[in-house]
Amino acid sequence: MERLTAEEFGYLTAGVVNQVTHFGAWLRTYGFQTGISETLTAMAAMTQLDIERMDQVCCAFRSIYSRTPAQWHMFPRLFERYFLHKEPRLEQRHRLQPEEGGGSDIVRREHAPWMQTVQGTLAGRHPEDGERYALRADGQVLQDVLQVTRSAVRALVAPPSRRAWMRGNERIDMRRTIRLAMRRAGEPMTLQWRTRRPDKPRVLLILDISGSMKPYAPFFTALAWSFTRVRVRTQIFLFSTRLLRVTALVSRHAVNGIPYDHLPGLKGGTRIGTALKELMDRHGGLLNRHTCVIIASDGFDAEPPLQLHSAMRDLAARVGRVVWINPLLAEPDYQPTASGMSAALPYVDAFVDVHDVASWRKAVSSGALHAPSNGDVHAAATGAVPAASTGALQAAGP
Q: Which residues bind other proteins (CB under 8 A)?
A: 33, 35, 37-38, 41, 44-45, 48-50, 53, 55-56, 59-60, 62-64, 66-69, 72-73, 179, 182-183, 185-186, 229-231, 244-249, 252-253, 258, 262, 264-265
Select 46 or 308, whichever has its Cβ closest to other proteins.
Answer: 46
Cβ 142 vs Cβ 68: under 8 Å: no
Select 228 or 291, whichever has its Cβ closest to other proteins.
Answer: 228
CB of 322 to other proteins, least distance (A): 24
Find residue 133's DSSP bridge partners: 259
CB of 22 to other proteins, least distance (A): 20
Cβ 298 vs Cβ 328: under 8 Å: yes
Select 58 or 115, whichever has its Cβ closest to other proteins.
Answer: 58
Q: Where are the alpha helices (DSSP H) in 174-319?
A: 174-182, 217-228, 247-253, 272-282, 305-318
CB of 251 to other proteins, least distance (A): 8
CB of 250 to other proteins, least distance (A): 10
Select 150 or 214, whichever has its Cβ closest to other proteins.
Answer: 150
Select 130 or 186, whichever has its Cβ closest to other proteins.
Answer: 186
CB of 147 to other proteins, least distance (A): 12
Select 258 or 344, whichever has its Cβ closest to other proteins.
Answer: 258
CB of 37 to other proteins, least distance (A): 7
Cβ 247 vs Cβ 235: under 8 Å: yes
Select 98 or 264, whichever has its Cβ closest to other proteins.
Answer: 264
Cβ 3 vs Cβ 19: under 8 Å: yes
CB of 153 to other proteins, least distance (A): 11
DSSP states of 41-108: HHHHHHHHS-TT-HHHHHHHHHHHH--SHHHHHHHHHHHHHHHS--PPPPPPPPPPPPPTT---HHHH
Specify the length of the chain in residues.
Answer: 398
Q: How far apart are CA 295 and CA 326, in angstroms?
A: 8
Greatest Cα pair distance, the chain, in angstroms, is: 84
Q: How far apart are CA 102 and CA 156, in angstroms?
A: 43
Select 62 or 125, whichever has its Cβ closest to other proteins.
Answer: 62
CB of 268 to other proteins, least distance (A): 18
Q: How far apart are CA 265 and CA 244, in angstroms?
A: 8
**What backbone phi and psi angles, to 5 degrees, belong to 97?**
-80, 140
3-state helix, strand and coil shares in percent for the chain, rounded to the nearest 5:
45, 10, 45
CB of 38 to other proteins, least distance (A): 7
Q: How far apart are CA 358 and CA 364, in angstroms?
A: 10
Select 263 or 341, whichever has its Cβ closest to other proteins.
Answer: 263
For the chain, what is the radius of gyration of the CA atoms? 27
